[in-house]
Structure 1
Amino acid sequence: MFKADLPGLKKEEVKVEIEEDDRVLQISSERNFEKEEKNDTWHRVQRSSGKFTRRFRPPENTKMYEVKASMENGVLTVTVPKVEVL
């Protein structure tokens, strides 16, 4: 299981991809944030933006085709089930 804190992002803004040939799980997004404050004597605008990408190589005994992702309250949870050993 992978968990990532992504405050301020919506689930539509986060991309979870699987590269089955390389067995890589990739999480990426782009953040654009602007905050504006003003009153009678001053006006301030704060901006921040940036892209991020994180790549993980799950263990060999995982079922890459059964990966599930969910996002709740700014926390992304990616579940990668393992192959059952009998």
Structure 2
Amino acid sequence: MNLVKRNPEWFGPASVDAFFDRFFNDSLQEQKNGFSPKVDIAETASAFEIQVAVPGFSKSDFSIDLKDGKLSISGERKLEKENKEKNFISIQTEYGRFFKSFQLPENINEKGIEATYENGILALSIPKDETKKVESKIAVK
């Protein structure tokens, strides 16, 4: 039996939403050398929470930086070296580099940011600084 590899890129995105998501969120660099992991962002009364789905990484594969209110998360997952015992039929796991950045609001406690990695999820907790209120009234003219 011969298997023919099918590249879903040839047929275009599965939906219009996927097309626009890819168009606005994926850079050309990511398409060539990496991938774009899925991210969940939530807000609680005391913190912002970011969860990045990146299975198969180790903690040392990540780089997390905060500069001028911009949080940057990057990492790389390399494909295992050629293994003569394995004959891959299909590889759907994402490999390569990824980069995500988020502009954080002014009311955060930068020194209290914590990151954990467990069960393929990189979780960041960004506590709010209650002394810094981000509120403004806009008068209608």
TM-score over 0.5 for the pair: yes
Q: For residue 7 of structure 2, what is the aligned residue in structure 1?
A: none
Structure 2, unaligned runs of 5 or more: 1-48, 134-141
Q: CA RMSD in A?
A: 2.5
Shift of 1:3: 0.4
More strand by share: 1
SS of 1:65's partner is helix
Identity rate, percent = 30
Q: Displaced runs of 4+ in structure 1, greater than 2 A?
A: 34-38, 43-49
- Give the length in aligned residue pairs: 80
Shift of 1:30: 0.9
SS of 1:61's partner is coil
- Which range moved further: 27-36 or 54-63? 27-36
Shift of 1:49: 3.8
For residues 125 and 75 of structure 2, what CA distance do their matches in structure 1 show? 18
Q: Does 1:44 align with 2:87?
A: yes
Aligned AA (2:118) = E
Larger RCO: Structure 1 or Structure 2 (Cα < 8 Å, ≥ 6 residues apart)? 1
Q: For residue 14 of structure 1, what is the aligned residue in structure 2?
A: 62
Q: Does 1:68 align with 2:111?
A: no
Aligned AA (1:29) = G
Q: What's the CA shift string for 1:42-64, capped at 9, x where partnerless?
A: x6257774211100011111111
Aligned AA (1:10) = S
Q: For residue 130 of structure 2, what is the aligned residue in structure 1?
A: 84
For residues 98 and 76 of structure 2, what CA distance do their matches in structure 1 show? 6
For residues 126 and 95 of structure 2, what CA distance do their matches in structure 1 show? 30
TM-score of the pair, normalised by structure 2? 0.49
Shift of 1:36: 4.1
